[in-house]
Amino acid sequence: MPTLFIDGTPATQADLAHQALVNYGAYTSFRVEDGGVRGLDLHLARLENAATELFGQAFGQDHLRALIRSALGTRQHAWVRVSLFSNAISNRDPTAHGTPRVMIGVFDPPLPLADTVRVQLQTYEREAPHLKHVATFGLLRARRVAKAAGFDDALFMDRDGRISEGSLWNIGFLSGDTVVWPQAPMLAGVTQALLSNGLQAQGISQTTQPVTAADLARFEAAFICNSATPAASITAIDDYAFVPDPELITRLTAAWASQPLQPI
């Protein structure tokens, strides 16, 4: 069972009831390794930006760090989810502004999503795609539809046919020694940023450009990435197959691992 804290103290039933009934907020989640986090600054910046946009006021990264340290206690390895919400915002009155409350869940570290995945291409655009928000109905429904059709997960494209992101992850494509990141409205992933920072040292260049289903034949490989899965091969997008490239995954994982653990 996870350990849940709100503003540094154990979560109460009243606070959890509000969380269950009012679907307004944002979050980020990450792995703690040896007491540090890769890309912690990016996760904290994501929360600060979301707090300002959704609630009208941020709270400072030092405060967030202190809350995370308190929730972790002596744990050096864990999975942490930091969520923002406000008891003052309700379905009947969504107008309140002010510093949001912070809920932190501490879990055992999860396994990667997969070693390889087959994904179904679906037309779907997340609301406010630049935010990692708590409106996840569409994501879960898309995954259920994909799995019912025999796939592992769902890959999204917008109404113009541009591939954007997966249900819980970002996607990259390989063309020669270049990673191509798709250009479309989406969530900028922290793991995607960590990979980008480490690619050059692995002899891999990168670019961002629109990608559609018609472009898939241009690429030799495709991969997913998120905080639980630094890199995993995509073996098929709909009926278009890719040959898994273990060497690429090794190089991508090395690019991710080259980014330092940041102390909390």
Q: Please give the backbone phi and psi of residue 224, each rounded to the nearest 5 degrees, phi first.
A: -110, 160
- Tell me the pTM: 0.95
pLDDT for residue 136 is more than 90: yes
Quick one: pLDDT at residue 59?
87
Nearest to 54 by CA among 168, 150, 131: 131
CA dist 11 to 60, 71, 89, 99, Å? Answer: 21, 11, 18, 18
Q: What is the mean pLDDT of residues 71-99?
A: 96
pLDDT for residue 1 is more than 80: no
CA dist 59 to 46, 56, 229, 246, 261, Å? Answer: 12, 10, 30, 43, 23
Domain 3-107 has CATH 3.40.30.10: no
Cβ atoms of 4 and 70 within 8 Å: the answer is no
Cβ atoms of 127 and 135 within 8 Å: the answer is yes
pLDDT band at 87 (very low <50, low <70, confident <90, very high): very high
Give span(s): CATH 3.20.10.10, the chain.
116-259
Cβ atoms of 55 and 101 within 8 Å: the answer is no
Q: What is the mean pLDDT of residues 164-169?
A: 97
Mean residue pLDDT of the chain comes to: 96
E strand or H helix at 250: helix 246-257
Give span(s): CATH 3.30.470.10, the chain.
3-107
Pick the CATH number of 116-259 from 3.20.10.10, 3.90.226.10, 3.40.50.1820, 3.40.50.11440: 3.20.10.10
Q: What is the mean pLDDT of residues 161-184?
A: 98
